[in-house]
Amino acid sequence: MTTAKPPLWVWVLLVAAIFGVSSAGTLLQQIELDPLLKASWRLQLTAVVLFPFAFFQWRQQPSEVKEQMFEKRTLGILALSGLALALHFGAWVASLKYTTLTHSLLFVTAHPLIVVAGMFILGIVLTGVRQPTHRELSGAMIGFAGAALTLLDEGTQQGDNTVTLLGDSLALLGAFTVVGYIVCGRILRAWMPIFLYAFPVTLLAAVLLLPASMLVESDYATYGVFGWLDAAFFGWFLALALIAGLLGHTGLNTCLKYLSPLVISACVTLEPVIGSLIGYAVFDTSLPGRWTWFGGAVLMIGLLLIVTAAPTETDTNNQTLEASKDA
């Protein structure tokens, strides 16, 4: 990252990227489809978009990197990352069916709390694992307290959805599993270009979700593996790939060349608010209940305390364990 003042277009891209990432939840909620199949299709089209970038990067790599890509250790970590991503998307997309948009976004973006809790537990049982700082622990405790407060809205109807413990738990499971994806990425991205990492992991996650959908969902028999090509679905999934994927995630990665990870991470914590506002403004999603407002604000304060810790204390870009390689 350069120390020069970032140009104006970077700030414009950052705002657009945050809105792009935040739109994913409400876009997914508009698609009438079983969740595991929906998650697989979303990842399939994202893999299609990533492929040309991955192919270009592959051609640019020296032979040493290409050989390292096929080492057993690399393939094993890629497989674990793909499994974690499949579990993350499967759980999160399912949560959108069983709870409200706001609750889903609040819990699935709470993975920094899980990272700090993991650091604390592993620091007790293992040597060499960095213990979280007082600020990180305070943020985690505040965040978990806020999450508990939002559950006081359990059972309340908010538009077409009802706040349920099942839905909130699925979103929290999505937060747990994305930590595995982040940890694997932290290990491999030390030497592996971004698209060479993202493409195979995304494709594998999409493939892994298909047999699960086939076993437990009825829509698989109706629409099949590539049902996203149907005119009724294609526009939605293309919007997810281009707006949430390419503009959102790729935009954030581009901004990291010019802005501190601290700035990016702090902005990303706004995803539940922006995502809920997009749903309300564009798709007439109802506003959350009072305990969700209050608890959500407390949860976000906790997250901000964690991600705004000094860069030497917390890697805010990865929001993962300093000793994740040993975990």
pLDDT in tens, 227-256: 999 999 999 999 998 898 889 888 887 887
Residue 319 has pLDDT above 60, yes or no: no
The token duo for 267 is 């902005």
Contacts of 206 (CB under 8 A, 6+ apart): 40, 41, 43, 44, 46, 47, 86
**Residue in the structure block whose two tokens are 């990865």:** 318
Burial class of residue 275, CB neighbours in 10 A (0-12, 13-18, 19+):
buried
In this prediction, residue 80 carries a pLDDT of: 97
Q: How far apart are CA 38 and CA 28, in angstroms?
A: 8
Look over the chain and give the mean of its residue pLDDT values, rounded to a whole number. 88
HSE on the CB side for 20, CA within 13 Å?
Answer: 22
Residue 321 has pLDDT above 80, yes or no: no
Find the range with the poorest average confidence among 25-34, 269-278, 297-306, 308-317: 308-317
Q: How far apart are CA 77 and CA 289, in angstroms?
A: 41
In this prediction, residue 310 carries a pLDDT of: 52
The token duo for 239 is 């919007």
Q: Which of 322, 76, 93 is nearest to 201 (CA)?
A: 76
Find the range with the poorest average confidence among 15-19, 168-172, 284-288: 284-288
Q: With contact defined as beta carbons under 8 Å apart, do 262 and 129 qualify?
A: no
In this prediction, residue 164 carries a pLDDT of: 95
Mean pLDDT of 170-177: 96
Mean pLDDT of 301-324: 59
Q: How far apart are CA 38 and CA 222, in angstroms?
A: 13
Phi, psi of 162 (to 5 degrees): -120, 140
Confidence of residue 123 (pLDDT cuts 50, 70, 90): confident
Q: With contact defined as beta carbons under 8 Å apart, do 171 and 92 qualify?
A: yes
The token duo for 293 is 């407002």
Task: Give the angle subtended at the CA of 261 by the CAs of 259 and 265, to the nearest 5°.
Answer: 115
Amino acid at 225: V
The token duo for 20 is 């792009």
| Position with higher pLDDT, 308 vs 96 | 96
Per-residue model confidence as pLDDT tens digits over 193-216: 989 999 999 999 999 999 999 999
For the chain, the distance separating the N- and C-terminal CA atoms, rounded to the nearest angstrom, is 29
HSE on the CB side for 212, CA within 13 Å?
Answer: 19
Residue 181 has pLDDT above 60, yes or no: yes
**Could you tell me the pTM of the whole model?**
0.88
In this prediction, residue 327 carries a pLDDT of: 31
